[in-house]
Amino acid sequence: MNSMTTKVHLVTIVCGNELEERVARDLAALGGISGFTVTRANGRGLHGPRKFGVTDSANIRLEILVVPPWADKVVAMLVANYQGDPLTAFVQEVLALPQSHFLLTSPTSADADLSSTAPPR
């Protein structure tokens, strides 16, 4: 591993455009997510083609880089709040930089207050 990078988790959420504001509100309600990236995602899947257009609503791809305890918290929120909604999520361990955004002390207990692990911005 490069000394300028650090291991974090990339949480990727793919859902219908109509869920974007709801997901954003739920992430903000967690109290420690300082930002995320949203891109439009055209594709084909279980529900057929989803293309962005005037009369059509595309999927979005929302990506968040967080320390591992926050990835668990995001996934738990998605499981609790999005049963039956057109949403898919996955988590990957990645190397990120600048390292200073992610040099944090993580709690040792899953029940610990995660607000102390919020990335500085």
pLDDT in tens, the chain (121 residues): 567 889 999 999 999 889 999 999 999 999 888 889 999 988 777 766 665 555 556 789 999 999 999 999 999 999 999 999 989 999 999 999 988 887 654 433 343 343 434 443 3
Q: Tally Cβ neighbours within 10 Å of residue 32.
A: 19
Give the per-residue pLDDT at 1: 59
Domains along the chain with CATH numbers: 6-94 (3.30.70.120)
Give the per-residue pLDDT at 31: 87
**Rounded to two decimals, what is the model's pTM?**
0.76
Burial class (CB in 10 A: 0-12, 13-18, 19+), 64: buried
Give the per-residue pLDDT at 52: 57
Tally: H helices and E strands in the chain: 2, 6
Of residues 33, 5, 8, the one with CA closest to residue 91: 8
| Tokens 């995660």 -> residue | 114
Distances (CA, A) of 87 to 11, 34, 46, 110: 13, 22, 12, 25
